[in-house]
Amino acid sequence: MPGGGVDPLRLTAREAKRMLVEGEVSAAELMKVYLDQIERVEDKVKAFILVTADNAARYATEIDREAGASRGALAGMPTAIKDNMVTEGVVTTCASKILADYQPVYTATAVRKLWGDHVVTLGKTNLDEFAMGSSTENSGFFTTHNPWDLATVPGGSSGGSAAAVAAGEALWGVGSDTGGSIRQPASLCGIVGMKPTYGAVSRYGLVAFASSLDQIGPLTRSVYDCALLLSRIVGRDPHDSTSVRLPTEIELPKATTLDGLRFGVPREYLATGVQPGVRERFDETLMLIERLGGAVEEMSLPHTEYALPAYYIIAPAEASANLARFDGVRYGYRSAHADDLIEMYERTRGEGFGPEVKRRIMIGTYALSSGYYEAYYGQAQKVRTLVRRDFAEAFSTYDLIVSPTSPTVAFRIGERAADPLSMYMSDICTIPVNLAGLPAVSIPCGLADGLPVGFQLIGPAFSENRVLNAAHALEQAIGFTALPTFKDTTGKGEEA
Amino acid sequence: MTAGRDDKRADWEPVIGLEVHVELNTQTKMFCGCAVSFGDPPNTHTCPVCLAHPGALPVVNERAVEYATRIALALGCRMAPVSIFHRKNYFYPDLPKAYQISQYDEPLAVDGRFEYWVGDDKLSCRINRVHMEEDAAKLIHAGGETGRIAGSDHSMVDFNRGGTPLIEIVTEPDIPSSEAAREFLNQLRGMVQELGVSDVNMEEGQIRWDANISVRRVGSGELGTRTELKNMNSFRFLQQALEAEIPRQIAVLEAGGRIDQETLHFDPDTGATTPLRSKEEAHDYRYFPEPDLVPLVMDEAFVERVRASLPELPEARVERFMAAYGLPRYDAGVLGSSGPLARFFEQAARSGVDAKLLANWTMGEYLAHVNAAGIEPGKGHVTAERLARLVKLVETGTVSSSGAKDVFQLMIDERGEPEQIVEKHGLAQVSDAGELAAVVAKVVAEHPAQVEQYRAGKQQVAGFFVGRVMQATQGRANPKLVNELVRKALAG
C-alpha cells in the first residue's frame, strides 16, 4: 500500500517528518496519500478553492531526489494554505469574486519561509470572503463542510484549512486569525490551532482584513506540530514594520506536568450562551489541569462585554480602508457595465463583494466618518486599551488564562447565516485576545453531541513557549483520539 | 495716483497662508524600494507596495525621515518625540490603495518660523507644521482638448511618481500680500535646494502649493472667510491668481456680500478665479491611524546629528554678507540666496579684492554668463579664482572697466587666463601720462571750434574730448588720467 499504511486522519507532522527522514516513506508516496484522500472526501468537505495536485506530485518527486543538507527542514510535508495568503503564480482569491482570477506577483513571507523549508503545497483553502466570518458560509464560492458532520459548518474564517487537516486532506495548514479565525475552526473541527502574539509572524502577503488584529498561525493535529510549524514562520520581516523578533525562539514542547502554573478562568467568558456539553468538557479539563499540578481559579476580565462591540468597530473600520484598493483599476474583477469612473467603482465593488463584506465596509466607513469618529472609532480604541489592561493585570497573578474556545460546537449550515449577530457571538471568547495582541491556542478537549469541543489557553505577549508547553501537557492528559466520520445529518434536524 | 484714500483697496488687507508640498529627492520611494525617478518610461518603477497589490505593506524610508527632519529643523520647528501616520481615504485612480498615507494630528514637527525678504523688508512667517506623506501617481487625460479629465475620452496612470516622498509645510496665515507670497515661496525654494533634499523643479511639480486667501479691514485682528487655490506650481500664476482673488473678495464684501469657503480654480487665460464644482469638494477623508506602521519615534541623538549637519541657510547668509562684506541688502540678497552663487562669491572674495566691485562683477557679467550658458555657478572655465584675478586687474587700474568686459568675454571664448588675455590683446589700460598727453594734444588741435566753446564757458564739452581720446586709444586709456589731461590742455 502506498505510504506504508499511513492513515492521513491520524498522522502527525512529527511522525511524518520522522518517516520521511528515516526513509520509511518517500515524499511522493506521502503526497499520494493526501491526494488520494482529497480524491475520496473533497466532494463532501469542499475544503479547497484550488488543489494543485500536479504541482504537488511533481514537487514531491523532486524533493525525493534531494538528499542530506540541501533538503529543507520540512521537506515533503503536505501543507494547506488559506487562500488569503498571496502565492506567486498561483491564483489567490480570498474567496471573493473580486479576486477570482487574481495572479499574485509575489509570495507572502510566511509561505515563502515554508517553501524555503520545502513543504509541498496541496492547494489554497476556502474561507469566509476576505476572512470575514465564522463559518465559511460567507465564501464567495461555496461553503466548506465539517468532516465531523457534513451538515455543520467547519467554523471560520480559516474553515477550509481546519476542515482539510481534520479530514486528512492535509498534514497541516496555515490560517489567519483576526478575531478567532484560526482557533474557532480548530475548535469546531477537533484540531489544534494557534494565533501567535501580534507581530510574531509577518503579515506581508496576507491580504489584510484588519491590520492591527490579523495574525497568521498554524492549524495542526497536535500541539507539537503546532510548535514545529510556528517555529518555521516566526520572525522579524523587513517588509512588515509591525513584525518583531521573538525574545526567545519557539521550542518544541515536552512538558508533562503543569506544576506551579496558575490558571485563571474569566467568569465573563462563561456568563452566557455556553452550551452545557461544552461547559462539561471545559470543567473536566479544568480538573485535569489540577491533576497535572496546576492551580485553577475563577477571576475577572471586567471589560469583556465591551470587547465584541469594540472589535466590530475597529475591524470593519480598518477593513473599509484595506478593501478600498479593490477598485477595478489595476487588477481583479472590473464591471463591464460602466460608463464613467464613479460608476465603474460602484459597479465593480457592488458586483465583486458579497453581502457580509459590504456590511462591514459600510459599518467601518460610517464609524470613521466625520462627526462619528470619536463616538465610534475613538471610543472603541479606548475600550481596546481597557481590554489590554485587563489582561495585563490578570497576568500579574496568573500564568495562563483558559476558556472554551467557542461557546458552542459546530452549528448547522444555514442556522446563523440570516442572523449576523448570533454569528458574531461565535467569537466572544477569542476576540478579546486579538484586541490585546496575545498568543492563544485551541486544543480539542472532547466531544459534545458527537462534535469536538475546543479548550483555549491564553498567555501574555511572547509567551508562546509557555502556552505551547502547557497545551502539550494537557493534550497528553486529555488523550483526544476521536476521528471525524464524514456523516451527514442534513435533513435529519438537530440532534438533542 | 498714489495709494490714496479713494482707493477702496487701501482699507483692506489680504491674509494669505500656504501649504507647500515638496517632493524629496531620496533614492527610493516613501514606503517601498522603488527608485524615485523623473522622465523614465511609465510604470517602470513599481512594485506590489506602490501598486497596492493585496497583502503588500508599507515600510518607512529612513532617509526620507532624515530629509524631512532637515527641512523641519531649518524652519526652526520643534520635532515631535513621537509622530504617527494616518490613512487619508478617497477613491481616485492615481491613489492605488484608495488611501494616502499621510500625517494628521500628530505630525513630524510643529511651531517653526521662516524669515524672508520682500524688497528691503524682512518678514517673518510662522510655520504651523511639517509633515510627511506620499505622492500620488500621475494621471494623463487623453483624447480631450484641455488635458483635464472633463472632455477626455480615456485616462492613463503612471505609477512611477506614486509613493514619492512628499513633505508638506503648512504656514500660519501670516503672509500679507501677493508679492510676499511669491517671495516666501521663492526663498523657501532656495532654502530647500540648499538643504539638498529636493530638486525643487517647479515644472516637474517637485514644489507645489495650495494658497488660502482671505481679506479683512486693516487693523482688524479677525480672520475673514478664506478661499483656497489648489495645486499651483508657478509663481507667476500664483501672483496673478491672488491679484484676481483679493479684489474679488474685497468687491464682494464692499457690496455687503459674503465669501463662501470654497476651492477655486485659476484660469491663466481669463485671469479669473472660478469655484470648482462642489462635488469634487465633498470629501470626508475618514482619517485614522495607519495600523501597518508603528509610531515614528524621534531619537534625540538623530535629531542632533541632523541639526549639526545643516548648512548655512540663505536667510542667515544674506545677513552675514551684509555684515561681513559691507554689501547693500540687494547685493547680499542676490549673492546669498542661492548656494552655488554664494559659494562662488565667497571663494572669489577670499582673494581680498574689493567686495563691492567683486559683487558687481559677480551679479553682472558673471551671472549673465552662467545664465546664458545654462551652467551652475562655479562650473565652467571662469572659476572664482579667475574672476577674482580679473577684478583685481580692474581694481589696480591695469584694465579699465570696459576693457575688463572684453577680457571677460575672451576668457570664455579662448579659455584663457585674464593676465595673458590682457597682454595678448593689448587691453592694458594706458596710464602713461606722456603717451596720453600726446594723444590729447592731437585731439585738441583737431577740434578748434570745440576748444572755443569750452573756453567760452561750456564746461561739458570736456566730455567730448575725453570720448575722442578714449576712441583714439581703443578704450585702453585710463579715463581718470585722460580727464585730467584734457582739462589741463583746454585750460592752457
Which residue does chain A place closest to B31, by CA atoms? A239
Q: What is the pTM of this model?
A: 0.88
DSSP letter for B313, please: P
Residues 6+ apart with CB under 8 A from A354: A96, A97, A129, A138, A140
The whole-number pLDDT of residue B3 equals 39
- Share the mean pLDDT of chain B: 91
The residue ranges of DSSP E strands in A286-430, in sequence order, are 295-299, 400-404
Report d(CA B150, CA A341) in Å as an integer. 12
Is residue A434 within 8 Å of residue A213, measured between CB atoms? yes
Residue B278, pLDDT > 80, answer: no
Can A82 be counted among the known catalytic residues? yes
User: A190: distance to nearest CA of chain B, Å?
Assistant: 29
Is residue A454 within 8 Å of residue A188, measured between CB atoms? yes
Per-residue pLDDT of A358-417, as tens digits, reads 999 999 999 999 999 999 999 999 999 999 999 999 999 999 999 999 999 999 999 988
- Share the mean pLDDT of chain A: 95
Does B352 lie at the interface with A, CB-CB under 8 angstroms?
A: no
DSSP letter for B277, please: P
Name the pLDDT band for B271 (thresholds 50, 70, 90).
Answer: confident
Residues of chain B with C-beta less than 8 angstroms from the C-beta of A207: 54-55
Is residue A130 within 8 Å of residue A326, measured between CB atoms? no
What one-letter code names the amino acid at A3?
Answer: G
User: B291: distance to nearest CA of chain A, Å?
Assistant: 5
Residues 6+ apart with CB under 8 A from B395: B353, B354, B357
Contact flag B91-A324 (C-beta cutoff 8 Å): yes
The whole-number pLDDT of residue A3 equals 54
- CA dihedral in degrees (A235, A239, A242, A244; nearest 10)? 20
Contact flag A92-B54 (C-beta cutoff 8 Å): yes
Does B99 lie at the interface with A, CB-CB under 8 angstroms?
A: yes
User: A210: distance to nearest CA of chain B, Å?
Assistant: 9
Does B55 lie at the interface with A, CB-CB under 8 angstroms?
A: yes
Can A181 be counted among the known catalytic residues? yes
Least confident of A25-29, B103-107, B154-158, B337-341: B337-341
Name the pLDDT band for B149 (thresholds 50, 70, 90).
Answer: confident
Which residue does chain B place closest to A376, by CA atoms? B288
Does B303 lie at the interface with A, CB-CB under 8 angstroms?
A: no
The residue annotated as part of the active site, out of A17, A32, A46, A82, is A82
Report d(CA A167, CA A41) in Å as an integer. 8
Per-residue pLDDT of B299-323, as tens digits, reads 999 999 999 999 998 888 999 999 9
Is residue B254 within 8 Å of residue B8, measured between CB atoms? yes
Is residue A82 within 8 Å of residue A160, measured between CB atoms? yes
The residue annotated as part of the active site, out of A157, A187, A222, A463, is A157
HSE-CB of B429 using CA atoms within 13 angstroms: 20
Is residue B30 within 8 Å of residue B165, measured between CB atoms? yes
Interface predicted TM-score (ipTM): 0.95
Adjacent-strand bridge partners of A193: A219, A442
The whole-number pLDDT of residue B9 equals 65
Is residue B368 within 8 Å of residue B362, measured between CB atoms? no
Report d(CA B479, CA A274) in Å as an integer. 110
Report d(CA B490, CA B461) in Å as an integer. 10
Can A243 be counted among the known catalytic residues? no
Contact flag B55-A208 (C-beta cutoff 8 Å): yes
Is residue B327 within 8 Å of residue B354, measured between CB atoms? no
- B85-89 and B288-289: which strand pairing? antiparallel
Residues of chain B with C-beta less than 8 angstroms from the C-beta of A373: 286-288
Contact flag B54-A102 (C-beta cutoff 8 Å): yes
Residue A28, pLDDT > 50, answer: yes
A85: buried, middle or exposed (CB in 10 Å: 19+, 13-18, 0-12)? buried
Per-residue pLDDT of B202-243, as tens digits, reads 988 999 999 999 999 998 888 999 999 988 999 999 999 999
Contact flag A325-B97 (C-beta cutoff 8 Å): yes
| Reported CATH class of domain A13-305+381-478 | alpha beta
Q: Which residue has the cell 497535572?
A: A292
Name the pLDDT band for A122 (thresholds 50, 70, 90).
Answer: very high
Q: How many CB pairs under 8 A join A and B?
A: 99
Helix (H) or strand (E) holding B100: strand B99-103
For helices A53-65 and A27-45, angle between their N-to-C axes, nearest 10 degrees:
160
The whole-number pLDDT of residue A417 equals 81
Is residue A434 within 8 Å of residue A177, measured between CB atoms? yes
Supply B85's cell numbers. 501616520
Residue B2, pLDDT > 60, answer: no
Report d(CA B116, CA B96) in Å as an integer. 38
Per-residue pLDDT of B320-358, as tens digits, reads 999 999 999 999 999 998 888 999 999 999 999 999 999
Residue B436, pLDDT > 80, answer: yes
Contact flag B54-A330 (C-beta cutoff 8 Å): no
Domains with residue ranges and CATH for chain B: 8-307 (no CATH), 314-424 (no CATH), 433-491 (1.10.10.410)
